[in-house]
Structure 1
Amino acid sequence: MGSELLLRILLSHSQRRRLLLLDAQDRVQALWRMTDPFDGAAVEDFSQAAADISIAAQRKAVTMVAAAQRRYLAEIDTDLGDFVPEVPDEVRMYSTTRPYRYAKPKTVRTRAGASERLPAAEPFNRPARRYRHEVAGGRDSSDALDAAANRVKMELATNVALAEREAEMQIIGQAGVVDLDVIGYRRVIRPERSRTGVCGLCVAASDRIYKTDELKPMHTGCNCTVMPVKEDADPGLRLNREDLTRLYDDAGGTGAKLLHRTKYGVDEHGELQALLVPKRRGEPVPRFRDPEVPAVVDLDADFTEVARRQLPLMRKELAKTRSQGVPDDDPRLRWQQSQVYAFEQLLAL
């Protein structure tokens, strides 16, 4: 497989994935800002609506991953036939390592068998609980709301990544069944997906080959994909080498030294399963920036752009509340009005 074709497939997938995530995250963040975290009914409505948005994004992401993996496999002469990955809407496992009092497990059945999973709406209840805890502890309410909005964004991105991983693992596993020459897969770093740089843990872990039945370790914000490996074909290795050469050059020759010092381990998380972590807890992890990806230097401008995208969604939610005929002094209506006003002031509208 030529590196140029590989890159075209990867970049096409990355661009479609970026737009999918951007749209879904804008929608859940706009809904969150229109939700009073102290209003239990409003939080419940938000968590269900956010779960619906997340599930739709997960399903689209799985479809895109399946299409990309089929292309990679076709290039190494492996045909999956009519196999389609079966990824449930509930992508997080229900942790049994310690009691969890906020939700009960949901039994989900797939080709792999039955598993106990966290209900899809539960992760989107967590930002409200965190917000209330921080405000009670004295944190400024606006700061706490912004932090919770970032968590909403993170929860959705994690769901999408988990759905993608489950699809990838099913596809690679099936490839190993239909073609015995498929011995595993390789983690492939994606510099174009990260504005802050490729995680050093991912760079270090991209050096090894995983077995077909081995779960890919991930971490928060992980942007890696995977590619199948045969005894005589390892397309991801070539692409990684090309990207690493460019990243090392941008690091001024220090990249290889940093990577040599970066040691990783794999932790088993009750909810997220295999996680990529520093070998020593608390050890800083270097990031390798792609010189072709612009750096984020103006955080205010970045937030202003987010506000510009999300304000129309917030106004739509406000109009929906008003259409229900609630009185002007209704707490939910007043909260939503205050949030729309704050964004209008930010944008000087």
Structure 2
Amino acid sequence: MTFLSPLDERYGRAVRTVWGRVLGPVLAGWSDLGAYRDADATAWRRKHLPTILAGERQVASLTAAYLEQTYAEIDARAPRVELDLDDVTGRALRGVDPEEVYDRPFITMRHALSKGADVDDAIAQGKHRLETLVKTDLQLARTHTVRDVGEDLPAVEYTVRVLQGEYDCALCMIASTQRYTKRDLAPIHPGCDCLVKLVKADYDPGQVIDEERLERIHDLVEEAIGRSDRGGRAVDYRKIIIANDHGEIGPVLGFAGQRFSGPDDIRLPT
């Protein structure tokens, strides 16, 4: 199991601070709109989209600095990290204009109204869509930076995910037992706060780097949903951990048909 270093912890705190500074005013601005017509949507984006984009650039810059410091510990001759922020933020994240992306919460709200939802519920659905979009884009800025910077660091053989939340979903837990090639875009889910660490190795350890932990997680999943099968026949493990090739944001981890009631349902021993 990979543990967090003081540098990891400082970086994690810095990124979470950016998340808070972005999400707070952006979500408050949604709730304070009062009206959600096209003109209101345009005014909202004009005011808040710069905050979101600035947050993406901050996360990318923090990640590049973190990777540079981490790599210096791996290779004393480490090159200086060069990163074009335009390559890992804004339109580069999804291949879609952010103006279009951040019209989607308004579309979600209007769709809910068309299906008979009351106004308050429709507004809440739009706000949830907005929060998901912002969290996803901030995390994409991180993973895209890891991908781009990692390509220029020849001593790095692969990357691993490191858990850092107080509670971590089963998806992140399983992913943390795997290794990824450094050009892979690290799989994510909205709200994920896992770190992506660079690893120098003399050999490829194979896909699974912590077999014991992986087996323990599967055991706990079986306790939670009542069945398990390492062969993947009786239980489709793709419904518990999925890496979907999303057309805009790349691989995504997510539940498909399986839900746990809370963080206590699956918890690894300390």
User: TM-score with structure 1 length normalisation?
Assistant: 0.61
Equivalent residue in structure 2 for 1:72, among 63, 70, 75: 70
Q: Is the 8 A contact 1:188 1:227 kept in 2?
A: yes
Equivalent residue in structure 1 for 2:107, among 129, 132, 135: 129
**Match status 1:201 vs 2:171:** yes
Alignment partner of 1:226: what SS?
Answer: strand
Distance (Å, rounded) in 1 between the aligned partners of 2:165 and 2:62: 19
Distance (Å, rounded) in 1 between the aligned partners of 2:134 and 2:100: 12
- Offset of 1:220 from its aligned partner? 2.0
Distance (Å, rounded) in 2 between the aligned partners of 1:57 and 1:141: 30
Give 1:10's aligned amino acid.
D
Alignment partner of 1:198: what SS?
Answer: coil
Distance (Å, rounded) in 1 between the aligned partners of 2:11 and 2:52: 19
Q: Is the 8 A contact 1:91 1:163 kept in 2?
A: no
What are structure 2's unaligned runs of at least 5 residues? 223-227, 229-236
Give 1:275's aligned amino acid.
V
Kindly name which structure, 1 or 2, has the bigger radius of gyration based on alpha carbons: 1
Give 1:184's aligned amino acid.
Y
Cα–Cα, structure 1 residues 68 and 289, in superposed 2: closer, same or farther, change >3 Å?
A: farther
Equivalent residue in structure 1 for 2:191, among 198, 216, 221: 221
Q: Which has the higher strand share?
A: 1
Distance (Å, rounded) in 1 between the aligned partners of 2:217 and 2:186: 24
Superposed CA offset, 1:264-297 (max 9, x none): 342211011112245xx423468545899xxxxx
What are structure 1's unaligned runs of at least 5 residues? 94-116, 235-239, 249-253, 293-349
Q: Find the counterpart in structure 2 of residue 258 from structure 1.
A: 220
Give 2:64's aligned amino acid.
A
Cα–Cα, structure 1 residues 290 and 203, in superposed 2: closer, same or farther, change >3 Å?
A: closer
Give 2:67's aligned amino acid.
Q
Q: Is the 8 A contact 2:244 2:252 kept in 1?
A: yes
User: TM-score with structure 2 length normalisation?
Assistant: 0.78
Taking every aligned residue pair, what percent have the same amino acid on both sides? Answer: 23
Report how many residues are paired: 242
**Match status 1:29 vs 2:27:** yes
Distance (Å, rounded) in 1 between the aligned partners of 2:98 and 2:268: 35
Equivalent residue in structure 1 for 2:250, among 258, 262, 273: 273
Q: Is the 8 A contact 2:163 2:176 kept in 1?
A: yes
Distance (Å, rounded) in 2 between the aligned partners of 1:81 and 1:190: 28
Q: Find the counterpart in structure 2 of residue 184 from structure 1.
A: 158
Alignment partner of 2:93: what SS?
Answer: coil
Cα–Cα, structure 1 residues 35 and 227, in superposed 2: closer, same or farther, change >3 Å?
A: same
Q: Find the counterpart in structure 1 of residue 225 from structure 2.
A: none
Distance (Å, rounded) in 2 between the aligned partners of 1:164 and 1:38: 31
Q: Find the counterpart in structure 2 of residue 283 from structure 1.
A: 258
Distance (Å, rounded) in 2 between the aligned partners of 1:158 and 1:198: 17
- Offset of 1:59 from its aligned partner? 0.7
**Match status 1:140 vs 2:110:** no
Instruction: Provide the alpha-carbon RMSD of the alignment.
Output: 3.0
- Offset of 1:198 from its aligned partner? 0.7
Q: Is the 8 A contact 2:112 2:125 kept in 1?
A: no
- Offset of 1:160 from its aligned partner? 0.7
Give 2:195's aligned amino acid.
T
Give 2:219's aligned amino acid.
K
Of the two structures, which has the highest relative contact order with CA contacts closer than 8 Å and spacing of 6 or more? 1
Cα–Cα, structure 1 residues 222 and 81, in superposed 2: closer, same or farther, change >3 Å?
A: same
Q: Is the 8 A contact 2:93 2:144 kept in 1?
A: no
